[in-house]
């Protein structure tokens, strides 16, 4: 049974609070400061400092953590990045439906297929299967960080032992521009052309290599 996204979020938040609390405590001890001294410097009680260090202050404000870090010589960054199970938007679903409609007879189509590693929560958006081969598919409605995107796909390929993958990209002006800029860096990872890959799949044949397909 797959873990609910909200439960995974709670688990990640708890783990982050515990790790941050440990770091703050270690920094305070290295600085030779008491919890009371640290708390007084930013206007909170020593009891609250203690709860933060033990990862028990589940409703602590982010700026409180940043201020504690600043006093103790630590940065407490906050940033977002794609999770292993991104929410599928309408554009991605439309891309997947377009490719499915182009497949040749006899090919099997499955969606949200977990990687073949027990316990790994990552999944391919779809997998195309024939009796002799299997091609994973991922869809991107809007490209942003191409290097991060290519690295994510490469890691999934490696861990899933998939030598060929098809990446669907929405055929928009923005995405074409991004791909043109990153073109040389993507050739090694995606040596087959999108047109050739689609032509092969339309004939129920295996593409010659990984490809980025604009649809």
User: CA of 44: how far to CAs of 25, 38, 65, 68, in Å?
Assistant: 15, 8, 11, 10
**CATH 3.30.1380 matches 90-214:** no
pLDDT at 1: 47
Q: How many helices and strands, by DSSP H and E, does the chain display?
A: 8, 5
Measure the CA dihedral 199/205/209/215, to 10°: 40
Residue that has been written with the tokens 């940065």 in this structure: 75
pLDDT at 29: 93
Which residues in the chain come in under a pLDDT of 50?
1, 87
Read off the pLDDT of residues 34-58 as tens digits, 9 standing for 90 and up: 999 999 999 999 999 999 999 999 8
Phi, psi of 211 (to 5 degrees): -150, 150
Q: Which residues of the chain form CATH 1.10.260?
A: 5-71
Residue that has been written with the tokens 């941050």 in this structure: 20
Instruction: Classify the C-alpha dihedral 33-35-40-41 as positive or negative.
Output: positive
Cα gap 64→72, rounded to integer Å: 12
For 212, residues 6+ apart whose C-beta sits below 8 A from its C-beta are 167, 169, 179, 186, 190, 194
Fold for 5-71, please state it.
434 Repressor (Amino-terminal Domain) (1.10.260)
Q: Which residues of the chain form CATH 3.40.1350?
A: 90-214
pLDDT at 83: 56
Read off the pLDDT of residues 112-128 as tens digits, 9 standing for 90 and up: 888 878 777 788 999 99
pLDDT at 67: 95
**Strand-by-strand arrangement of the 211-214 sheet:** 108-114, 123-129, 134-140, 166-169, 211-214
pTM value is: 0.59
pLDDT at 113: 87
pLDDT at 73: 93
| Structure tokens, 84 | 């292993």
Classify residue 192 by its DSSP letter.
B
């Amino acid at each position: 049974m797959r873990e609910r996204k909200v439960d995974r979020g709670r688990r990640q938040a708890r783990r982050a609070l515990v790790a941050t609390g440990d770091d703050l405590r270690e920094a305070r001890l290295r600085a030779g400061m008491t919890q009371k001294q640290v708390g007084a410097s930013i206007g909170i009680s020593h009891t609250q400092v203690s709860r933060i260090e033990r990862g028990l202050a589940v409703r602590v404000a982010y700026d409180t953590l940043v201020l504690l870090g600043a006093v103790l010589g630590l940065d407490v960054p906050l940033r977002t990045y794609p999770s292993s199970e991104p929410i599928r938007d309408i554009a991605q679903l439309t891309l997947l439906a377009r490719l499915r409609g182009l497949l040749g007879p006899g090919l099997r189509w499955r969606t949200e297929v977990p990687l073949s590693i027990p316990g790994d929560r990552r999944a391919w958006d779809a997998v195309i299967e024939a009796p002799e081969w299997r091609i994973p598919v991922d869809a991107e409605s809007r490209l942003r960080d191409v290097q991060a995107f290519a690295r994510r796909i490469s890691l999934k390929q490696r861990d899933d032992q998939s030598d060929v993958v098809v990446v669907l990209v929405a055929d928009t002006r923005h995405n074409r521009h991004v791909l043109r800029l990153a073109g040389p860096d993507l050739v090694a990872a995606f040596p087959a052309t999108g047109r050739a890959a689609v032509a092969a799949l339309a004939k129920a044949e295996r593409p010659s290599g990984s490809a980025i397909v604009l649809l």
